[in-house]
Structure 1
Amino acid sequence: MRAEHQGSPEPLTRLSSSILANLKHRGPLAISELAAIEGVQAQSLTRVVQELERQGRVARRRSSTDKRRQDIAVTEAGEQALREHVRDGNAWLASALARTLTPAERGLLRLAGELMQQLALVDLDLTERTAPEEDGRRPGEEGRAR
């Protein structure tokens, strides 16, 4: 996928969109926390966060729990930029799927997505109870054909 989406005057990069998404979903974070989430050094994020701040997409504020710490928070403009970025990405993907895949392939992709959603809902504590036995069947599948 493209690193930037065209259409807005200042498109989001992958890193800036990831920063905004993390702030939206996790709430205000210190730059060190953001860096740990992104898997980069704090110094590497400073320039990106400064640019997002210049654009009005994030704001710095003193932490309510530690006055020495500054938290970075997403602003309404940042949330709007993120919504536009996601919308543009979804439109690009839908167009690429329609142009590239046959209806049958799109159906298979839809089915694969549904199966992945089912897997995401599996309770990890059930792993031992539902692990395949030596014959490759799970407990309770004795009569089911493969």
Structure 2
Amino acid sequence: MTDQKDIQLAADLRTVVTRLIKVLRKHSVTADKLSLTERSTIALLDQHQELLPNELAAMEKITTQSMSQILANLQQRGLIKRRISETDKRKAIISLSDLGRDMLYQVRNERNAWLNDAIAATCTPEEQELIKKAIGPLTKIVDFE
């Protein structure tokens, strides 16, 4: 049986992580121009270089029709490139444009700068060390299936 203290730890962690995400979202002027799914799609393209629309839809856990709308919007803004597959002319391969990559990195830089400033202004050196040590266990939680 799960201990009530364990449940409280989970609830407290969920609350603070959710609040941190909301605060980080507010500290990027560039990110406000795109929806959460559009930003996530750009990040996936940066990570994987090239993907098919149905692969992106599966990774985002949305329908291919919804992904088509997202990709149309991103293409209209000049943030992605489409090219036809050489092996299957029916398939479009999606990648980031230079503008899309620049936007993604700008968003990350804005958020990293704010978070760095916040850590420096609010945390003692000992607390900063605790945060460093918590990265590993938090990564394990994120990777848990």
Question: TM bucket by the smaller chain?
Answer: 0.5 to 0.7
Q: Which runs of 5+ in 1 are unaligned?
A: 121-146
Unaligned runs of 5+ in 2: 1-20, 141-145
Contact 1:4 1:11 survives alignment (8 Å)? no
Residue 44 of structure 1, aligned match among 57, 66, 82 = 66
Aligned to 1:83: 105
Identify the residue that residue 57 of structure 1 maps to in structure 2: 79
Deviation at 1:67, TM superposition (A): 0.2
Measured after TM superposition, the shift of residue 91 of structure 1 is 1.5
Which residue, out of 99, 104, 120, partners 2:126?
Answer: 104
* 2:42 pairs with one of 20, 39, 48: 20
Contact 1:52–1:58 (CA<8 Å) still a contact in 2?
yes
In the alignment, the residues of structure 2 paired with residue 35 and residue 4 of structure 1 have an alpha-carbon distance, to the nearest angstrom, of 26
1:96/1:47 Cα in 2 relative to 1: closer, same or farther (>3 Å)? Answer: farther
Q: Could you state the TM-score of these two structures normalised by the residue count of structure 2?
A: 0.68
Q: Secondary structure at the match of 1:73?
A: strand
Is it true that 1:73 corresponds to 2:92 in the alignment?
Answer: no
Q: Supply the distance in 1 between the matched residues of 2:123 and 2:88 (Cα, whole angstroms).
A: 53
What does the per-residue CA deviation read over 1:3-34, in whole Å, with 9 as the maximum and x for residues that have no partner?
46543396343322221121122122221110
Higher helix share: 2
Q: Using a 3 Å threshold, how does the CA distance of structure 1 residues 4 and 34 change in structure 2: closer, same or farther?
A: farther
Cα contact 2:28–2:111 (8 A) shared by 1:
no
Runs of 4+ in 1 over 6 A off after TM superposition: none
Identity %: 32
Q: Which of 1 and 2 has higher RCO (CA within 8 Å, sep 6+)?
A: 2
The one-letter amino acid paired with 1:47 is: Q
| CA displacement at 1:52 relative to structure 2 | 1.0
| Partner deviation per Cα, 1:38-65 (whole Å, 9 max, x = no partner) | 1211122222211111110102211122
Change (3 A) 1:91 1:31: same
Q: 2:13 matched to which residue of 1?
A: none
**Which is greater in Rg?**
1
Q: 2:117 aligns with which of 79, 95, 98?
A: 95
1:76–1:86: structure 2 CA closer, same or farther, 3 Å change rule? same
